[in-house]
Structure 1
């Protein structure tokens, strides 16, 4: 028998967040804490199925008219239309003018992949900019879609534990025309640091002046501040200014539909005659990738977004989730300051959303795992949802020890 064709395959490096999750799951210590995975947890450290989601699921299960036939290639139209209205505002002028088109995609990741393939294969763009740091999947998605030139723009200032706005602006000003600029709509992952409204205006000025292409990654609308409109401010500002752009929306966090892979890819195209050709090309890209998207989660989100009573109930859920995160931020900062932990910890409450870039080093993160069974990424990013009223004192004391004794 001939030698195996697979003998030259090398083991790929592990994806850190999943490796840390496995280490947590394998750990048997009674005080173990998981601060790694990007998913909401209740104060009992349990996943939460939103009550409004339970309600709609029951209604769908009782609806004998529904079946499991394929959705159209571009997904459930009532979902994608409502998702775009949620992001832009139902009365936004671009929607009234017919400049907006949307398709259902496989959550944020799938939306970014289809967007990247469209930008590279159809518009022939080859340079993309990501923040330093950014979500760990951005680079891989665009590289695998065919982009060959990845550039990082400065974002995180380690000294101030805030935004390096001057560095960001300088790097964007040096970007070549038609570069794709990936922007986090709100609750920047992993830092939790967002530009101010005035800074967003200046960012828009540079992108317009340099003829760059903005692509917003919106994974946390409503989940960040509890206010859908506030969390969409940056996207709406760009739309107000007449930018052509793309935005990917994930409903994993704000609906708790993680494994349903429900997302939307929204595009603003100023020449409305180009919408039909654009959708035809998107159809081919989706057909050659996953053929068509799943229906269950899309029907849930569509039902909620298109029903006023359910929509109001859902907004109450996201206020509950965002409120718990804010409470944990305040609690962690208060405890670290009370302990006299070296350094300034006000960035914990200045940051927003699920994640905090704590400033902890890789060595300190390892110390927390080895000594206290507290699992987080080596970058120092923690998921605030992993904190509870039952473990926050323990975590604060462990961080105090790590910062004090591990250089």
Structure 2
């Protein structure tokens, strides 16, 4: 129920107005501007209905003092028994929401007050919508920045920047709709972990900010970190299925306010620096940036073997060859050379170069199709990389010289079934690698 503060020095008018409005609202009354000032801070009304002409302090003067002392934003309605455009013009110029002339009819008074409060509610809803992140219900980046800029200047507390670890893999493997579900779940966990007085905001796709008001206990950070990291993986399995093995968790960078300062942007940068420390040291933990010596104190979850497997293992292991980039291929190739020489194994390097026989327009598309087709024709243990638009390099482990020709023929058989193969010529270069030869030998063949 909305609360209305009525101010009038005439007892009869004050009593009558209170009687009318008390039918629908919580009513507080004052017989002077001075009494109204005392009541305003304590009662926090939703609307002020004040007589305009009162001894000692007029309605205009009361409104000006409220604006200066309280930065008042609630609607103020003036009551007056005088006619005149000048009075109304002055009132509206000062920011008044409406004028009501005395004597008034009860139904008119009720309707005008209701209209004003309804308008205020609509404005509040629009402002809240403009300040709210629709997915999580938290403040959006602009709104939380404005709010924390003021809060950090006036309150002790802990500012935390929180990142949802490995979230990108959810979008990549399960799609953006599933990603949104994970973000909502993470927001729910974060909301249930914090107090209603704390300030929460979403400042990026998977990045959040939290200000815990009136506490500087480091144990709070540790407690929040442990809960987030223990709960998000469980919720993710409920949403995505028990076979979900993405290492989801939370990394937190924190600063203590005002120990580390009171400027929000500086504090945020320090917390973000601490977050980076967590990210570089295994994730799933927290770090605190201490301004006095730029020292970062951290607590990162110790990784066990299972956690490391989750981080490093290949996602969505499909059929066919391991198709990787050139930089990764370099590292894999160097490892294979070591492996072959140590365990006396064999392998083949195969370079296939494509050239168009005609119809240059469709050649780039045919070259793409060639790579996709051969990838699916190979074993999971085979590795391939695209060197140029028309060149593919393959590393084929555990292949002998005797079996190599048949392997190549099998690789190309599916491609030769496609219509596009008729317009593409393939040149081969191959090199046999074993533990006895440093350089191996190569041979060139055209297909």
Relative to the length of structure 1, the TM-score reads 0.22
Query: As a proportion of its length, which structure holds more strand?
Result: 2
Relative to the length of structure 2, the TM-score reads 0.20
Structure with bigger gyration radius: 2
